[in-house]
Amino acid sequence: MNKPTIALAAATLSLLATAAVQAGPVAAQPGKDKCYGVALKGKNDCAAGPGTSCAGSSTTDYQGNAWKYVAKGSCAKIKTPKGPGSLTPKKR
């Protein structure tokens, strides 16, 4: 292998390792609710639908199938341009 190929391979492996670490859901947070439809693009804690890697995988702001941990009892009170948060996935 030549030096550019080795450097590219090393960079690719580093990127894949970083993605693998970030691919799972955020650790459970007692005293908090999973609130759907309130996360900004790429800022969800998990569940963003088929073909996604989980945390940070939402592709739009306030995506209905992506949730974020929020203070217990506050989800439905969170207002977004697409409506309030929900304890269950929202169709959007």
pLDDT at 18: 42
pLDDT at 25: 77
Collapse the DSSP code of 49 into the 3-class scheme (helix H, G, I; strand E, B; otherwise coil) and give the result: coil
For 1-55, the pLDDT digits (tens) are: 565 555 444 554 444 444 444 557 788 889 999 999 999 999 999 987 776 678 8
From residue 69, alpha-carbon distances to 4, 27, 31, 43, 52 in Å are 43, 10, 10, 11, 18
Q: Among 80, 38, 82, which residue's Cα sits nearest to residue 58?
A: 38
**Total number of domains in the chain:** 1
For 45-90, the pLDDT digits (tens) are: 998 777 667 888 899 999 999 999 999 999 999 999 999 999 999 9
Phi, psi (rounded to 5 degrees) for 35: -115, 120
pLDDT at 6: 52
Question: Which domain range does residue 64 map to?
Answer: 24-92
What is the token pair recorded at 18? 């970083």
Report if residue 43 sits inside a domain: yes
Report if residue 17 sits inside a domain: no
